[in-house]
Structure 1
Amino acid sequence: MIDLRRLHVLRAVSHYGTVTAAARALHFTPSAASQQIRQLARDLGVDLLEPQGRGVRLTPAAESLLAHADAIAARWEQAELDLRADHRDPAGPLRVSGFAAAVSVLLAPMAARLHKRHRRLSVRIQEVGVPESFDLLFEGATDLAIVEATPHNPPLSDARFDQQPLLDDPFDLVVPEDHALARRARVDLADAAHEQWIAPVPESPCRAHVMSACGEAGFSPDVVHHAVEWNVTAHLVASGLGVALIPRLAHLTPHLPISRVRCTGNPQRRLLTCTRRGGRELPAVAAALEELGELAPTAVA
């Protein structure tokens, strides 16, 4: 009989990449996590980890075992759904997460609408970055996340997660209000090729979108300033320190002396709803997804 607790430790090593990181997430010591995996290996009579440089990697046997483990996790979600089949009205806690703009524009109004329609449902919102949302889903600490599609996310084929498109969020060129491009209804990014630029910090998910949009317009931007928050970016633009691409979902400080100009080619980022595999049909999650489906079309109008 496979010990499911030990199997979960192995899944955590696969998700977080190292025994140390998995142990930290599970509130184990690294030695205790390693012991759990060694015991699981002895129970099964196969090697699950092998040395790789200074670390370890999963063996083919471990990868095969994890495919079954992911299927088991999805079946548990289905079991919960079956047990609630006679109680379809959403009730209890619903834990949701997302990055700042998603919380402000989508999750907050979603929670307010759910509160009015389903009095027995309690929504709990957590603002986190995209990688952290996947961690929370994996750990069972959140039920639904809004994430930005990036090359660093788990692939759509990942058996642990169910990722579905929610909306495409266009980027606007943001310039000082007295800038020559501010008077245009739509601008070609190539016209801003010789400007100084303000860009997201390198670790931001949006950094790749900005650089890719400029690359497709035929230039590499002269980035002189970096910012984490979109409002910080907007204030830098307002001070005449450069131009920037800012997603339409980002609500900026009112009355700044800036103009948002739509771009030809429609550069954009894609937002996804993400649940654990099998969790999308749970009554509370399904109700939240219905509300998000109604909110999304007007969020970036």
Structure 2
Amino acid sequence: MIDLRRLHVLRAVAHYGTVTAAARALHFTPSAASQQIRQLARDLDVVLLEPQGRGVRLTPAAESLLTHADAIEARWDQAERDLRADHDAPAGLLRVTGFPVAISVLLAPMAARLGERHPRLSVRIAEAGVPQSFDLLFEGAADLAVVESTPHNPPLSDTRFDQRPLLDDPFDLVVPDGHPLAGAERVGLAEAAREQWIAPVPESPCRPHVMAACGAAGFSPDVVHHALDWNVTAHLVAHGLGVALIPRLARLAADLPITRVRCAGDLHRKLLTCTRGGGHARPAVEAALRELRELAPTAVA
């Protein structure tokens, strides 16, 4: 009989990449985590980890085992949901994560609606970036996340997670009031090729979208300022320090002397909902997803 706790440690090593990182996430010492994996290897009479440089890598036997481990984890989660589910109405605790814009425009109103419609359901929201949201889902510390689609997300074929499209969030070109492009109904990005630009910081999930959009328009932007928060970007634009691409979901200060101009073409980022594998079937998550689907079309109007 396989000890599921030991299997979970192996899954964590595969997810985080190292025994030390997995141990930290599981609140183990590295030696205790290693001991769990060694015992699992003895139970199965196979080698699960082998040295690679200063670290370790999973053996083919471990990779094969993980395919079954993910399925076992999903079935176990489903069994717990079946035992605890209140099929009459969503109830209990729903833990949700998202990045700042998603919380402001989608998750906060979602939580308010759920509170009105399902008084036995308690929603807890935590701000988290994309990688952290997937970690929280994997650890069982979150039930639902709204994330941006990035090249670094787990592939859609990864059965540990259920990722589903929520909405396409268009980018607008934001310029100071009085700028030559401010009066345009729609602008081709190439028209801003000679402008100074304000871009997201390098670690922002939106930076690749901005740089790729400019590249597709035939130019590399002259980035003179970087910002993480969209309202910081908007203030820089308002002071005439450059132009920027800002997602339409971002709610900017209303008193700023700036103009949002719609872009020609299809410039957008994709937002996804994500649960653990099979987690969307939980009544509380189902209710939250319904609210998000109702909110999404008006959020980017």
Q: TM-score range by the shorter chain?
A: over 0.9
Where do 1:94-113 residues align within 5 Å?
94-113=94-113
Q: Secondary structure at the match of 1:202?
A: coil
Long gaps (5+) in structure 2: none
Structure 2 partner of 1:15: 15
Letter in 2 for 1:135: D
Report the TM-score, using the length of structure 1 for normalisation: 0.98
Structure 2 partner of 1:208: 208
Task: State whether structure 2 residue 216 is matched by structure 1 residue 228.
Answer: no
CA distance in 2, matches of 1:179, 1:83: 61
Structure 2 partner of 1:124: 124
Structure 2 partner of 1:50: 50
Deviations 1:75-95 (A, max 9, x none): 122213332466331001110
User: Would the aligned equivalents of 2:86 and 2:283 in 1 still touch at CA under 8 Å?
Assistant: no
Letter in 2 for 1:269: R
User: Would the aligned equivalents of 2:196 and 2:221 in 1 still touch at CA under 8 Å?
Assistant: yes
Structure 1 partner of 2:78: 78
Report the TM-score, using the length of structure 2 for normalisation: 0.98
Structure 2 partner of 1:137: 137
Deviations 1:243-277 (A, max 9, x none): 10000001011110110000001200000000001
Structure 2 partner of 1:26: 26
Identical amino acids, percent of aligned pairs: 81
Q: Secondary structure at the match of 1:183?
A: coil
User: Would the aligned equivalents of 2:85 and 2:282 in 1 still touch at CA under 8 Å?
Assistant: no
CA distance in 2, matches of 1:155, 1:254: 38
Structure 1 partner of 2:294: 294
Where do 1:187-266 residues align within 5 Å?
187-266=187-266
Task: State whether structure 2 residue 147 is matched by structure 1 residue 183.
Answer: no
Letter in 2 for 1:278: G
Worse-matched range after superposition: 26-35 or 72-81: 72-81
Letter in 2 for 1:166: L
Letter in 2 for 1:151: P
Structure 1 partner of 2:167: 167
CA distance in 2, matches of 1:179, 1:56: 56
CA distance in 2, matches of 1:54, 1:195: 47
CA distance in 2, matches of 1:182, 1:140: 47
Letter in 2 for 1:262: R
CA distance in 2, matches of 1:71, 1:139: 16
CA distance in 2, matches of 1:45, 1:266: 54
Long gaps (5+) in structure 1: none
Deviations 1:2-26 (A, max 9, x none): 1111111110011111111111111
Q: Secondary structure at the match of 1:241?
A: coil
- What's the C-alpha RMSD, in Å, of the aligned pairs? 0.9
Q: CA deviation at 1:39?
A: 1.2
CA distance in 2, matches of 1:142, 1:219: 41
Letter in 2 for 1:261: V
User: Would the aligned equivalents of 2:3 and 2:40 in 1 still touch at CA under 8 Å?
Assistant: yes
Structure 2 partner of 1:3: 3
Q: CA deviation at 1:53?
A: 1.5
